[in-house]
Amino acid sequence: MGSMPGGDVERDANVEMDTEATHVGPFEIEIDPRPETGVTQAQARQACAADGKRLCSEVEWERACKGPEFLERPPAEPDSANGFGVRAMGVRLLEWTSSPWGKNLEDQTKVALRGATRTAAPSHHRCAHREGVLADATADYVGFRCCAGPESAALYKMPLLPRGDIFRQRRMEQDQFRAIVAQIPELRPVADGIMLFNMNDVASVLARGATTQEQHPELHFTAWPIEWQPTRGEDLLVFVAHNARHDVVAALYEIAGGQYRAAYVMILADDPIPLALAYGDPHGDSRRRIFWSPAWGQSEGGSVIYTEDRRVVITAR
């Protein structure tokens, strides 16, 4: 379900699941949306029931849209069928589903629409795109199609609200850390002998900058990886590490099932000196930034930033 975190700036982390595997049993779906538009969800339900069918759930809608190849987007032309033989999903109309918008949202009175109109933004023409509206809303660009067979019990899970602790230090053994690194192609140049720094290295970073933790009560310094949730639905793992030859500063997207994907990797070649991370008050802009440095308070180092356009970048001074 959903879109792949990392690299897809069209993904809306606030409302999309993170590629969770979801079981959907067999069902039938109409090839095209019905010609009736401008109907409420109840009217769409009644039209389907009159033919012995039902509204599709949004899980079923997305499964049909992705086709047997699990494509991110349906064919761009409304008359072109995907691998399941279904047409015009996400390229002609918004379509009613039988599903609630999401029980984790504050407003539970809405239901889920899927699809998009011809003139919608490109990000809306993805199979994972979803919108929440009141069930009695009507518009000439909102239609529906019907399904048949037992309705899937699978429900779309909204991402949880950001944790109270936006930053969490994560202690892990070196073997556990290396198993994560082994998943990331961008880290292969430094994977041989890679190790996390330790808290003695943090003391070295502060000493090199001629400062102490007590002089910076607004900051938390660490050598452990940081689990970071800058916004709803985005979970990242940020760390500094080294091998015999290189340092690395990296941010990884955490994906369902214990998998990771690179958000941004910076390799500091032939410069294996201790590095430390620091983070501050998780309110306002501070929640979108983690600092890294080899000498705190000096001109070296930089930041890991979650940008307004939902990208992760690592800067260096």
CA distance readout (Å), 87 to 45, 62, 66, 91: 21, 13, 11, 9
| Report for 13-17, 140-144, 298-302, 308-312: range of highest mean pLDDT | 140-144
3-state secondary structure of 9: coil
Residue 84: predicted pLDDT: 97
Contacts of 254 (CB under 8 A, 6+ apart): 5, 227, 235, 236, 237, 260
pTM of the full predicted structure? Answer: 0.77
In angstroms, the Cα distances linking 277 to 67, 189, 260 are 43, 22, 20
Token pair 């102490």 in the structure block, residue? 212
Residue 59, φ and ψ in degrees, nearest 5: -65, -45
Share of the chain above pLDDT 90, in %: 70
Distance (Å, whole) CA 196 – CA 170: 12
Phi, psi torsion values for 286, nearest 5 degrees: -65, -25
Convert the pLDDT of each residue in 249-289 to its tens digit.
999 998 877 889 999 999 999 978 999 999 987 666 688 99
Query: In 10 A of CB 124, how many CB atoms?
Result: 18
Domains of the chain (ranges, CATH numbers): 28-148 (3.90.1580.10), 167-316 (no CATH)
Calculate mean pLDDT across residues 300-305. 94
The first and second tokens of residue 181, run together, are: 């690194």
Mean pLDDT of 158-173: 83
pLDDT at 281: 73
The string of pLDDT tens digits covering residues 131-153 is 999 999 999 999 999 999 999 88
pLDDT tens-place string over residues 171-208: 999 999 999 999 999 999 999 999 999 999 999 999 99
Please give the biggest Cα pair distance in the chain.
Answer: 77
